[in-house]
Structure formats: structure tokens, C-alpha cells
Amino acid sequence: MKKKYDKISVRKYLEKYVRDQKPWYNIHCREEYIQVTIPPYPVNEEVDTDEKMSERQVEQVIREIKEYMGTFGVGTEFDHALYGDNIKIKFNVK
């Protein structure tokens, strides 16, 4: 599937598919990687800390993106997450 994924039309379709499923995910499919930017969830101070909530949110996004890409036969591997105003998650494409 990597050869098929290299085509820009396929990457654009994958971006549209994920955005249709999760409109708040800002996803960009590049030849070598996939980057997802998401806004952080509001934190309920009584229940959770900001760090725990962000970690759980990243874990959820990793599962969902792997599932979406698995549907199309694209192998992804989690690379890293950057925390800030928004959370940026990078996946390498195999």
C-alpha cells in the first residue's frame, strides 16, 4: 500500500475520510509521515490534571488513526507528540 499511498489523490482522500469521521482533527498526509493536530479537551480540575487528560487524548488519537489507516492498508507507527496550545501528533508511514 505504500506505493499507492505515495499518490497525492490517495493522501487527499485519506485526509477527507478522517476529517469526515472526526471534524476536529486537523490531519495532513505527507509522503513520509502523517501529522494530526487536535485541540486539547477542557480539563475538569476536580477529576483530572491537564497532563493526564492530554496523555489519554493522545492514546485515543493513536488508536483511532491506526484503525482508520488500517482500513486502507496503510501502516503507521507513532513517532512523537508535541504538547502546547494544541497537541501535534506525528506518525511515520511504513
DSSP letter assigned to residue 9: H
pTM to 2 decimal places: 0.83
28 within 8 A of 15, measured Cβ to Cβ: yes
Per-residue pLDDT of the chain (94 residues; tens, 9 = 90+): 567 788 889 899 999 999 999 999 999 999 899 999 998 776 566 666 677 778 888 999 999 999 999 988 899 999 999 988 899 999 999 8
Contacts of 64 (CB under 8 A, 6+ apart): 21, 22
